[in-house]
């Protein structure tokens, strides 16, 4: 009986040391695997999955940047942990109305709080889907609450990102951009 207790304690210490070692290696492996983290296919797959499953819409990557509308909506979700940065979802006012309508089953005439919430939620889901493509990020990177900006003539600026992915998409006559910005990797 005593031997079983010693064996159990040794196994527990070994598991703790193994977990500490895996955590130490994980921080190193994310830095060493920046190519995997910044792989554009992860963003493409995430956008496709989210729009297909949440909106029943098929998206195509656009070859040109979306035309700028007078009013636009930008949702931002921050990353924290092994990767710091943000997922940024930007679209024109008309696209935001269309996306919110497909998400909720309601029609919208203006960018109200429900439309803003829908844009924040689509950005949040995209950020989660993207970070879920890399196991280290899925386990060791948190998401912030979405922030939504609406208006005219504003620009979001990120100082010296480590890497940035920016893709434009089209669906059902509407266009939007998704940007992943990484300003730090551990």
pLDDT at 41 (0 to 100):
94
pLDDT at 40 (0 to 100):
92
If asked whether residues 27 and 12 sit together in one domain, one would say yes
If asked whether residues 9 and 77 sit together in one domain, one would say no
pLDDT at 36 (0 to 100):
79
If asked whether residues 147 and 97 sit together in one domain, one would say yes
pLDDT at 5 (0 to 100):
46
If asked whether residues 148 and 181 sit together in one domain, one would say yes
Half-sphere CA count of 108, side-chain side, radius 13 A: 22
Identify the three-state secondary structure at position 47: helix
Q: Supply the CATH number for residue 67's domain.
A: 3.40.1550.10
CB-based contact 131:141 (threshold 8 Å): yes
User: Alpha helices, DSSP H only, in the chain?
Assistant: 2-32, 34-37, 40-50, 93-104, 113-131, 135-140
If asked whether residues 164 and 75 sit together in one domain, one would say yes
If asked whether residues 77 and 8 sit together in one domain, one would say no
Adjacent-strand bridge partners of 85? 79, 182
Q: Which of 124, 83, 116, 77 is closest to 100 using CA atoms?
A: 116
If asked whether residues 152 and 179 sit together in one domain, one would say yes
If asked whether residues 60 and 19 sit together in one domain, one would say no
pLDDT values of the chain reduced to their tens digit, one per residue, 186 residues: 444 444 454 445 555 555 555 555 444 456 666 777 888 999 999 999 999 998 999 989 988 776 677 789 999 999 999 899 999 999 999 999 999 999 999 999 999 999 999 999 999 999 999 999 988 888 889 999 999 999 887 777 777 788 899 999 998 888 999 999 998 887
If asked whether residues 82 and 126 sit together in one domain, one would say yes
CB atoms under 10 Å from CB of 14, counted, come to 10
Distance CA 127, CA 171 (A): 19
If asked whether residues 28 and 40 sit together in one domain, one would say no
pLDDT at 31 (0 to 100):
64
Half-sphere CA count of 23, side-chain side, radius 13 A: 9
If asked whether residues 69 and 151 sit together in one domain, one would say yes
Output the pTM of the full model. Answer: 0.81
If asked whether residues 43 and 28 sit together in one domain, one would say no
Domain total of the chain: 2
* Residues 6 or more apart in contact with residue 163 via CB below 8 angstroms: 34, 37, 38, 182
DSSP codes of every residue in 64-81: SPPPPPSSEEEEEEEEEE
Distance CA 57, CA 163 (A): 29
Range of the domain at 127: 35-185
């Amino acid at each position: 009986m005593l031997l079983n207790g010693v064996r159990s304690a040794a196994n527990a210490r070994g598991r703790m040391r193994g977990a500490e070692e895996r955590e130490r290696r994980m921080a190193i492996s994310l830095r060493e695997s920046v190519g995997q983290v910044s792989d554009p296919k992860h963003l493409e797959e995430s956008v496709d999955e989210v729009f297909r499953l949440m909106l029943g819409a098929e998206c195509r990557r656009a070859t040109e940047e979306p035309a700028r509308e007078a009013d636009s909506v930008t949702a931002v979700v921050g990353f924290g942990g092994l990767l710091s940065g943000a997922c940024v979802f930007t679209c024109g006012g008309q696209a935001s109305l269309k996306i919110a309508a497909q998400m909720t089953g309601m029609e919208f005439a203006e960018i109200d709080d429900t439309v803003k919430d829908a844009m924040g939620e689509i950005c949040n889901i995209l950020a989660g889907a993207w970070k879920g493509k890399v196991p280290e990020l899925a386990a060791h990177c948190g998401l912030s609450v979405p922030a939504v900006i609406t208006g005219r003539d504003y620009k979001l600026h990120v100082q010296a990102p480590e890497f940035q992915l920016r893709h434009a998409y089209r669906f059902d006559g509407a266009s939007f951009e998704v940007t992943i910005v990484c300003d730090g990797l551990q």
